[in-house]
Amino acid sequence: MLLLLLLFCFRKLSDKISNTCKDRDMHHEAISADQPFAFNCTNPPLTYGEVNVVWYDAASKAPISKDNQSRIHQEHTWILILPLKLEDSGIYLCVIKNANNCVRIWMNLTVFEKHWCDNSRRSLPNLSDDYQQILRTGPSDSLTCHLYFPETCVLGPIMWYKDCKEITETRFVPVEMKLVVYDVSAEDSGSYACAAELTHAGRAYRVLNSINVTGRVGNERRIPKIIYPKNNSIEVQLGSTLIVDCNITDSKDNTNLRCWRVNSTLVDTYYSESKRIREGIETNVSFPEHIFYTVNITFLEVKMEDYGLPFMCHAGVSTAYFMLTLPAPDFRAYLIGGLIALAVVVTSVLCIYNYFKIDIVLWYRSAFSSTKAMEDGKLYDAYVLYPKPQKESQRHDVDTLVLKLLPEVLERQCRYKLFIFGRDEFPGQAVAHVIDENIKLCRRLILIIVPESPSFGLLKNMSEEQIAVYNALIQLGMKVILIELEKIEDYTTMPESIQYMRQKHGAIQWTGDLTESSQCAKTKFWKRVRYHMPPKRFPPSSSPAAEARTLQFPSRQMETKMGLISC
Amino acid sequence: MTFSSALASEVPSRRYVQDLNHRAWVLQDQTLMIVPRKERMVPITVTLMPCRHLETLEKDRGKPMYLGLLEPNCCLFCKKDGEQPVLQLEERSIIDLHAFREPVKPFLFYHSETGRTSTFESVAFPGWFIAVCSKGDCPLFMTQELGKTYITDFELIRQN
């Protein structure tokens, strides 16, 4: 309050000096007593030119003496107090004038008692004129002794102290106003002082600056390191959302810009209209030695144009990019798919083969039929064995099939040679002998069975026949073609041998009309029978003899050819 | 370890600025000055934000940077006053400048780092640097004279 009142009085006083002067803010100076004090009144650029500067003591309202012998006096633009006394505390005013301008600079000087390195006498805690300086750990740094006096003051050599003791260590080298410190470590922080003898107008004074020195880790200017991306590529599906982080470590002192660019343009600018790709929020984690930054880039939807384009993360001078690529084909999926497809194909082929097996085999036989006669010592292709049912209708059916249809289709159309018991044996021969002898000359055994023939005449009653058949089957390993004339409901009524044959070779059930006089070898039933029959070898038909026969018997040959084609 | 979830791209770096003679930037009478740093004195907090739009700016001069003051909220800029550029302060938010779609050249300075010191060259007036006198107290100004009478190398001190 008192200060404000005082200031008000000074303003009044100064108003008398000039009514057009501009006031500058108050300078506050707190200096310890008993040492020289100098303050330069400047107001650049005004004081660069020709100006009139006058210092006033605001308390006495009088200009400061310009006599250099006076303890407080003005020299040029300076106010000099040699030395300071406690009573010098107060407000001083400097008026700078030239032809057009006037500026007033106020100084509030506080002089206090300080007892350097005297722990028994404490200074006022809230007053200090100590300088604050930093020593960075490293090969070298320096402290500065701020002794700023007019040219009339001659300064002697500067003495440097640490913790009240003169510094003698060779690591410390005073150079002009500085103290160069080599191999700076954290222990070099502390209380320093620089002192010099100041001579003015024949009198010597001692000026001392206290300096509080704090240590700091030398700011190693490191180049920011981009940990990710690493100029890599990222596989991503078209249309998906993607977020990629840029991870950076940088020095704590850095002022680097971190951003994402595409084609040297900020992504936010590049996609300013669609906003499809945006730079994310930057976050950082501070570590003792460095800062870890993360700044991401977000693709709301990956488009085709994004693939192969380098998205650059910038951190100061460092850059790193990533590129998007379409996902590589999944070989495992392809392999599995391929195997499944193969399995389907194989299954289909097998099904088709099973379904058309008979047609394929028959076609194959007709297409690649060997002209070479089979040399297995057999005379007949099949031995036909059939029952003589007691029922008249059944007997008739059996006879029709055996004596009419089989010879018609297999012998005439397909040119097989059959041995039909009851047709081809010589009269008077013993049944067992006929069977035994002729069955050996056959490649297949065609067995006709009819249901409900409890007296299965063929095998049930004729033990010789039975033995012969068994011999044929077991010793010769003949293949049996079992033909059911009608559907057999219950096989258990059949002899065991029949059951066994049915189980082993299956049975072909007659389908068709026995009354039909013309049978076609291409019906399903006959195809099945032919399938089980041995492959037919045809003699070469294009021999000159055959051709001659063709000329001689054209109609017969045509018929034979028809038959050849159908089988 | 401290975690900051702040929008670093929108929060300027805060630094004290000093020269190698332990003089710090302070604000006196709306003027940026450099004065010997004392214990009882708080240097001005300078805010720095790198310009994101580098397309129209020179590449090798340094990082284009906006320079501001934390309190009062104003920014440093260069303008021509007669023959030569002068350094001035304008009440303006550094974040607004940073948010511009284009570089605001009068407010931009190429920040070039050598060793522990930095120089600040005007983007609007290339060749002109922020400078101070070599001793005592003095205001900041612009100079083209490097390594001679004036000091153009400054140290950015991170605030703890």
Domain boundaries, chain A: 2-112, 131-216, 225-325, 372-536
Interface confidence, given as ipTM, is 0.89
Q: Does B13 touch chain A (CB under 8 A)?
A: yes
Closest CA of chain A from B38, distance in Å: 4
Q: Which homologous superfamily does the CATH classification assign to the domain defined by A372-536?
A: Toll/interleukin-1 receptor homology (TIR) domain (3.40.50.10140)
Q: Just give the CATH number of A2-112.
A: 2.60.40.10
The packing angle between helices A524-532 and A331-367, to 10°, is 90
pLDDT below 70 — which residues of chain A? 1-19, 45-48, 119-125, 219-221, 370-374, 452-469, 471-472, 476, 516-518, 537-567
Asked if B38's CB is within 8 angstroms of A132's CB, the reply is: yes
Asked if A132's CB is within 8 angstroms of B5's CB, the reply is: no
Q: Does B95 touch chain A (CB under 8 A)?
A: no
Q: Does B37 touch chain A (CB under 8 A)?
A: yes
**Which one-letter DSSP state was computed for residue A391?**
S
Asked if B63's CB is within 8 angstroms of A255's CB, the reply is: yes
Distance of CA A3 to the CA centre of its chain: 72
In three-state form (DSSP H/G/I as H, E/B as E, the rest C), the secondary structure along A174-223 is EECCEEEEEEECHHHCEEEEEEEEEEECCEEEEEEEEEEEEEECCCCCCC
Q: Do domains A131-216 and A372-536 have the same CATH topology?
A: no
Residue B3 lies in a domain: no
pLDDT for position A532: 84
Rounded to whole angstroms, how far apart are CA atoms B40 and B23?
A: 14
Closest CA of chain A from B5, distance in Å: 5
Contacts of A221 in chain B (CB under 8 A): 113, 115-116
**Nearest CB to A129; choose among B6, B38, B115:** B38
Token pair of B62 as six digits: 């340094």
Q: Does B71 touch chain A (CB under 8 A)?
A: no
Q: Does B79 touch chain A (CB under 8 A)?
A: no
pLDDT tens profile B56-112: 777 888 889 999 999 889 999 999 988 889 999 999 999 999 888 889 999 999 999
Contacts of B108 in chain A (CB under 8 A): none
Contacts of A142 in chain B (CB under 8 A): 20
Q: The CATH number of A131-216 is which of 2.60.40.10, 3.20.20.450, 3.40.50.1220, 3.10.20.30?
A: 2.60.40.10
| Cα torsion A416, A420, A424, A429: sign | positive
Query: Minimal Cα distance from A213: which residue of B?
Result: B39
Residue A326: strand, helix, or coil? coil
Contacts of A287 in chain B (CB under 8 A): 1
Distance of CA A504 to the CA centre of its chain: 61
Residue B4 lies in a domain: no
Rounded to whole angstroms, how far apart are CA atoms B142 and A407?
A: 126
Pairing of strands A52-57, A62-63: antiparallel
Rounded to whole angstroms, how far apart are CA atoms A279 and A311?
A: 11
pLDDT for position A534: 85
Query: Minimal Cα distance from B114: which residue of A?
Result: A221
Rounded to whole angstroms, how far apart are CA atoms A508 and A482?
A: 6
Asked if A255's CB is within 8 angstroms of B156's CB, the reply is: yes
Query: CB of A169 within 8 A of CB of A215?
Result: no
Token pair of A187 as six digits: 């222990």
Asked if A316's CB is within 8 angstroms of B41's CB, the reply is: no
Q: A243: which residues sit within 8 A by CB, 6+ positions away?
A: A280, A296, A297, A298, A299
Asked if A259's CB is within 8 angstroms of B9's CB, the reply is: yes
Cα→Cα distances A538→A504, A541, A564, Å: 30, 8, 9
Cα→Cα distances A357→A121, A343, A362, A365, A413, Å: 122, 19, 8, 12, 21
Contacts of B13 in chain A (CB under 8 A): 255
Closest CA of chain B from A285, distance in Å: 5
How many structural domains is chain B composed of? Answer: 1
Asked if B2's CB is within 8 angstroms of A148's CB, the reply is: no
Asked if B113's CB is within 8 angstroms of A128's CB, the reply is: no
Rounded to whole angstroms, how far apart are CA atoms A452 and A448?
A: 13
Query: Minimal Cα distance from B65: which residue of A?
Result: A255
Catalytic residue among A408, A411, A425, A464: A464
Closest CA of chain A from B116, distance in Å: 7
Residue B4 pLDDT level (bands cut at 50, 70, 90): very low
| Cα torsion B87, B91, B93, B97: sign | negative
Residue B36 lies in a domain: yes
Contacts of B136 in chain A (CB under 8 A): 40, 148
Asked if A24's CB is within 8 angstroms of B156's CB, the reply is: no
Q: Just give the CATH number of A225-325.
A: 2.60.40.10
Neighbours of B120 (CB within 10 A): 26
Q: Is A464 a catalytic residue?
A: yes
Asked if A142's CB is within 8 angstroms of B53's CB, the reply is: no
Contacts of A132 in chain B (CB under 8 A): 22, 37-39, 41
CATH number of the CATH domain containing B132: 2.80.10.50
Query: CB of A420 within 8 A of CB of A406?
Result: yes
Residue B2 lies in a domain: no
Rounded to whole angstroms, how far apart are CA atoms A401 and A349?
A: 35
pLDDT for position A301: 93
Q: Does B75 touch chain A (CB under 8 A)?
A: no
Asked if A255's CB is within 8 angstroms of B111's CB, the reply is: yes
